[in-house]
A and B are shown apart, each in its own frame.
Chain A
Amino acid sequence: MSVEEFLRVDDVVVGYGSSDILKSLSLSIRKGEFVALLGSSGCGKTTLLRAIAGFARPKSGAIHVNGKDVTLLPPDKRGMALVFQSYALWPHMTVAQNIGYGLKLRGMARADITRRVEELQDLLGLAGLGQRKPGALSGGQRQRVALGRALAIDPEILLLDEPLSNLDARIRLKVRHDISALQKRLGITAVHVTHDREEAMVMADRIVIMENGNIAQQGAPEEVFNRPASPFVAAFMGAENMIQLRGTVGGGHVKIDSSATNREAVLPLDGRALSDGVYEARFRAEGAHLLVNDGAADAADAGLDLVGHVEAASYPGGTWRHSVRVGDEILLVDSPQPVAQGEAVRVRIPAKNLFLFNLGGSFSRPRQSSLNEGGAARVLEASHA
């Protein structure tokens, strides 16, 4: 146990009935760290947050805060504060009463509460709204009241359950920075649940990507972004383009065999744990270049070249986004210049932007296999008829 370790989740299993939502999950968070739990819906990230907060009781495992076992403590005895996705503001109390409630519970003098609530209102840009009811506030203001209510009690750990998902896109960008700046300034340990990759990247010191009740990968944003540990993480971090390649490993390099859809390439292994065989290759639309196919061969170590033709182009802003047909796959590739539909192109993926993962043994080229299977099925149908 490191000195800095503050919140520790040990082999926690949470589930209802026979299905487990969290499957023996362990996580360690340092004091003052901002950790984002990232995952698609149903991956267990909210359940983990509720287990930490004390609203979901683990079947087994333990949760420690500052070395103290809190696994069986009720939520109100944990010194944490949870900001809900719905904000959960009390409609019968004013903004000031909402923010000050936690202080009132702690028996603080009324004058002190008023002073502290006003401080928080100023800090959160809610000055002058203290006497309003939550119903008379905008979404962004409600979100800040919910945050103020949680911050008022000086929690050791601030838990945030998708607090930005109900906000307008424009406000969201600003609130992201507001929250992380505030967290840094107050030095609070924060756990933030989100399904928004960019939000997690911008706000967190560390990203924990969850998949089916387990941690798929955790690390600093740039680490998770640039070195995804599995195809799932790569896809979740935006590398949606997927092709299959065959290759061999040797001398610190991986040699990708040429095929109908790609040229031969020799890429530095660069810490990738690969063996000979079939790879699932993933890359981002913005991680590849689109070259009009002039037939000239460059040095093979420049990256992987895929051959295909442009099916469509659109302009989402900044760069042109092309859908390129490579073999059976449709890949999205960005380019500063539009390329005409039907034009033969090369998609060049620099080695550092290409994520390679070993696939299971039984694999044949997608095109061949689908054709063969189709053919076999047709033969079978014919024989039946």
Chain B
Amino acid sequence: MTTTAATRPTFSVDLWWIPRAIVLGLLAFAIFGPLANLVLWTVTERWYFPHALPLEYGVSYWGRVFSPRGTAMESLTNSVVVAFLTVALAMALAVPAGYALARLKLPWRALIMLAFLIPQAFPNLPVYVNIARLFYQFGLNGTVAGVVLVHVTHGLVYAVWIATAAFSAIDRELEDAARSIGASPLRTFRDVTLPLAAPGLLASAIFVFLESLDEFTGSYFVGAPDVNTMPLLLYTASSGGNYQIASITAVLLLIPSVGFMLVVERFLKSDVLSKVGH
């Protein structure tokens, strides 16, 4: 591919850059095109076919979304409350489970790790329809607790896998060193294990948080119409043709995702990542 460049060193324009630039450009457009459209919609007052750009710009829909009587504020609150509760419950399960899976020589370890994948392995819809039917019997349908439970089963695989990896990455001798100079097992866990695993655990908590924030199917079957979350609002707004409300909701969902992803990228070190799923 560099033969032309090699034979004519003075005019070394690599022609291969033309197809490459086209592919990269298309890729960028595929990723950022819809996003740009989304952002445009959030500041649009009037925009209809066949106009390429909005006819009128404004932020009146933001006011409507954030008005005290608007359903958006309620959905946002619901989403955040559900996400925090989901993180709390998932981490309460994942920290001991991850530590046990990382440290104890469990014979069924691989199988247990795989079991956490099961909620993801089956098609979502039939599973959630059945869960909804079951929850209805227990009176959990349409409650925050019900939605949280669904989100936890969904997010636990990330929480447990990443927590296991975070604990596995800690050299056992660091714990032994604390034990040898007089620390009890619990004290060792608090003073040595937990601080060292904290970045990995934080990353897994963020994953669970984002999963909960974005989760739609389970929330729809178990939560709607009593517990409205942001994705449900997005769904009703966009199916009702209200693109401004839908876009503003989408941007609100996007902000924590992007922000947290940057945090995760910083905290998840290769020594932890290399152990995920092992």
Seen from chain A, the residues whose Cβ lies within 8 Å of a Cβ on chain B are: 53-55, 74-76, 80-82, 84, 86, 88-92, 101-102, 105-106, 146, 149-150, 152-153, 155, 159
A74 to B171, CA, bound (A): 19
The 10 closest A-B pairs by CB, nearest first: A102-B181, A88-B177, A82-B180, A88-B173, A75-B179, A76-B182, A105-B182, A92-B195, A76-B179, A84-B173
B68 nearest CB across to chain A (Å): 45
Looking across the interface, which residue of chain A has its beta carbon closest to that of B178? A101
* Residue-wise interface mask of B (155-185) relative to A, using a CB-CB cutoff of 8 A (1 in contact, 0 not): 0000000000000000101101111111111
Contact A84-B196, Cβ < 8 Å, known A76-B182, A105-B183, A153-B182: no
* Residue-wise interface mask of B (170-211) relative to A, using a CB-CB cutoff of 8 A (1 in contact, 0 not): 010110111111111101000110011000000000000000
Which B residues are in CB contact (< 8 Å) with A90? Answer: 174, 177-178, 192, 196
A163 nearest CB across to chain B (Å): 12
Which B residues are in CB contact (< 8 Å) with A153? Answer: 181-182
- Which of B177, B182, B183, B184 touches A84 (beta carbons < 8 Å)? B177
A142 nearest CB across to chain B (Å): 12
Looking across the interface, which residue of chain B has its beta carbon closest to that of A85? B173
Which A residues are in CB contact (< 8 Å) with B177? Answer: 82, 84, 88-90, 146, 149
Name 7 A/B residue pairs within 8 A (Cβ), A-sorted: A55-B180, A75-B176, A76-B183, A92-B196, A105-B182, A153-B182, A155-B181
Which A residues are in CB contact (< 8 Å) with B191? Answer: 101
B127 nearest CB across to chain A (Å): 41
Q: Determine if B176 and A88 form an interchain contact, defined as CB atoms under 8 angstroms apart.
A: yes
Which A residues are in CB contact (< 8 Å) with B181? Answer: 76, 81, 101-102, 105, 149-150, 152-153, 155
Q: Determine if A76 and B171 form an interchain contact, defined as CB atoms under 8 angstroms apart.
A: no
Seen from chain B, the residues whose Cβ lies within 8 Å of a Cβ on chain A are: 171, 173-174, 176-185, 187, 191-192, 195-196
Q: Taking A88-B177, A101-B191, A102-B182 as given, write out 4 further A-B residue pairs in contact, using a Cβ cutoff of 8 Å, ordered by the A residue number.
A: A81-B180, A84-B173, A89-B177, A153-B181
Q: Determine if B182 and A106 form an interchain contact, defined as CB atoms under 8 angstroms apart.
A: yes
Which B residues are in CB contact (< 8 Å) with A84? Answer: 173, 176-177
- Which of B171, B173, B180, B192 touches A75 (beta carbons < 8 Å)? B180
Looking across the interface, which residue of chain B has its beta carbon closest to that of A106? B182
Which A residues are in CB contact (< 8 Å) with B185? Answer: 74
Which B residues are in CB contact (< 8 Å) with A152? Answer: 181
B contact face: mostly helix, strand, loop, or mixed: helix
A161 to B180, CA, bound (A): 13
Which A residues are in CB contact (< 8 Å) with B176? Answer: 55, 75, 82, 84, 88
Q: Determine if B187 and A105 form an interchain contact, defined as CB atoms under 8 angstroms apart.
A: yes
- Which of B178, B179, B192, B195 touches A74 (beta carbons < 8 Å)? B179
Looking across the interface, which residue of chain B has its beta carbon closest to that of A77? B182
Q: Determine if A53 and B180 form an interchain contact, defined as CB atoms under 8 angstroms apart.
A: yes
A74 to B180, CA, bound (A): 9
Which B residues are in CB contact (< 8 Å) with A54? Answer: 179-180
A86 to B177, CA, bound (A): 10
A90 to B196, CA, bound (A): 9
A153 to B176, CA, bound (A): 16
Looking across the interface, which residue of chain B has its beta carbon closest to that of A146? B177
Which B residues are in CB contact (< 8 Å) with A105? Answer: 181-183, 187
A220 nearest CB across to chain B (Å): 29
A277 to B38, CA, bound (A): 97
Which A residues are in CB contact (< 8 Å) with B180? Answer: 53-55, 75-76, 80-82, 150, 159
Q: Determine if A88 and B179 form an interchain contact, defined as CB atoms under 8 angstroms apart.
A: no
A80 to B171, CA, bound (A): 21
Which A residues are in CB contact (< 8 Å) with B183? Answer: 76, 101, 105
A149 to B219, CA, bound (A): 53
Which B residues are in CB contact (< 8 Å) with A155? Answer: 181
Q: Determine if B171 and A86 form an interchain contact, defined as CB atoms under 8 angstroms apart.
A: yes
Which B residues are in CB contact (< 8 Å) with A76? Answer: 179-184
A55 to B187, CA, bound (A): 17
B17 nearest CB across to chain A (Å): 43
Q: Determine if A88 and B187 form an interchain contact, defined as CB atoms under 8 angstroms apart.
A: no
Q: Determine if B182 and A88 form an interchain contact, defined as CB atoms under 8 angstroms apart.
A: no
A146 to B177, CA, bound (A): 9
A340 nearest CB across to chain B (Å): 54
A138 to B33, CA, bound (A): 52
A88 to B182, CA, bound (A): 15
B201 nearest CB across to chain A (Å): 14
Which B residues are in CB contact (< 8 Å) with A146? Answer: 177
A75 to B181, CA, bound (A): 8
A225 to B180, CA, bound (A): 33
Looking across the interface, which residue of chain A has its beta carbon closest to that of B175? A88
Which B residues are in CB contact (< 8 Å) with A74? Answer: 179, 185
